[in-house]
C-alpha cells in the first residue's frame, strides 16, 4: 500500500541533527561558540546555529546566508535518508515542501531525516519572503489592504488578535489572503 504525505517543512520548528547509527538522529542543543552574525536576521541565524550540533548546518549558517547550493545539499541528504528508510521523498518547492510515498511510518522517518532540512528550509523561507525582517503583521496587513481583502481601517494589531483566535472579519480562503500570508512583499510568484 502506498502512503502519500506532504510536508511543508519551512514552517517546522528549528531542530538539530547529529550523527546516529545511520547518520541521522536528533541531537541536543549546541553549547559551543556561535559566530557573530550580522544583518536583519542575525538573531535567527544564531538561534538556528544553537539549535543543532549538525556540522552541515553550522557550516551553512556560519556564512550568514543560505544559497541554492546549500538548500540543494540538505534536500538531497533528506531524500537519500528517506530512501534509506524505504520511502520515496520528492522535494517539490524552494522552501522545504515535499511529498513522501511508500509503505512505512512516514512520520517517524521524517522526524529522523528532516532536521537539517527543516532548519535550513525554515530560515531560507523567512529570509526570502521578508529579507529586511520587517514587522510580519504590518507587511501582511499592508498586503491584505492593497489586495482589497481587508478594509483600509484594518491594523496590524487587529491582525495579531485575529491570527490568535483564527477568526478574521474577511474570507481567508480567497487567493489574496493566501498570497499575502505566503508572500506579503510580492517578492516571488513561485511560492
Domain co-membership, 92 together with 163: no
Phi–psi pair at 111, nearest 5 degrees: -65, -40
Cα–Cα distance measured from residue 80 to residue 11, given in angstroms and rounded to the nearest whole number: 22
Give the torsion sign (CA, 76, 80, 81, 83). positive
Of the residues 113, 129, 145, the one at which a domain ends: 129
- The reported pLDDT for the residue numbered 25 is 40
Q: What is the mean pLDDT of the chain?
A: 86
Domain co-membership, 8 together with 79: yes
> Among 23-27, 84-88, 139-143, which is the least confidently predicted range?
23-27
Q: Which domain holds residue 149?
A: 136-182
% of the chain with per-residue pLDDT over 90: 79
pTM of the model: 0.77
Domain co-membership, 105 together with 27: yes
- Tell me the pLDDT tens digit for each residue of 4-17: 333 333 333 333 33
Q: Dihedral, CA atoms, 36, 15, 191, 126, nearest 10 degrees?
A: -30
- Tell me the pLDDT tens digit for each residue of 90-140: 999 889 999 999 988 999 999 999 999 999 999 999 999 999 999 999 999
Residue 134: count other Cβ atoms within 10 Å of its Cβ: 13
Domain co-membership, 175 together with 95: no
- Tell me the pLDDT tens digit for each residue of 48-63: 999 999 999 999 999 9
Domain co-membership, 156 together with 120: no
- The reported pLDDT for the residue numbered 29 is 78
**135 burial via Cβ count (<10 Å: 0-12, 13-18, 19+):** exposed
Amino acid at each position: 500500500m502506498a502512503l502519500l504525505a506532504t510536508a511543508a517543512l519551512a514552517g517546522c520548528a528549528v531542530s538539530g541533527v547529529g550523527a546516529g547509527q545511520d547518520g541521522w538522529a536528533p541531537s541536543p542543543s549546541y553549547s559551543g561558540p556561535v559566530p557573530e552574525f550580522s544583518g536583519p536576521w542575525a538573531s535567527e541565524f544564531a538561534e538556528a546555529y544553537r539549535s543543532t550540533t549538525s556540522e552541515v548546518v553550522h557550516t551553512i549558517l556560519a556564512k550568514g546566508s543560505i544559497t541554492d547550493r546549500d538548500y540543494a545539499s540538505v534536500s538531497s541528504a533528506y531524500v537519500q535518508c528517506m530512501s534509506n528508510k524505504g520511502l520515496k521523498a520528492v522535494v517539490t518547492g524552494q522552501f522545504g515542501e515535499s511529498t513522501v510515498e511508500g509503505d512505512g511510518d512516514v512520520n517517524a522517518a521524517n522526524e529522523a531525516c528532516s532536521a537539517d532540512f527543516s532548519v535550513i528550509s525554515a530560515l531560507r523561507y523567512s529570509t526570502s519572503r521578508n529579507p529586511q525582517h520587517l514587522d510580519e503583521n504590518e507587511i501582511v496587513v499592508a498586503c491584505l489592504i492593497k489586495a482589497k481583502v481587508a478594509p483600509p481601517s484594518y491594523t496590524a494589531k487587529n491582525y495579531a488578535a485575529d491570527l490568535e483566535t483564527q477568526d478574521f472579519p474577511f474570507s481567508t480562503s480567497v487567493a489574496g489572503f493566501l498570497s499575502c500570508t505566503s508572500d506579503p512583499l510580492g517578492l516571488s510568484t513561485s511560492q
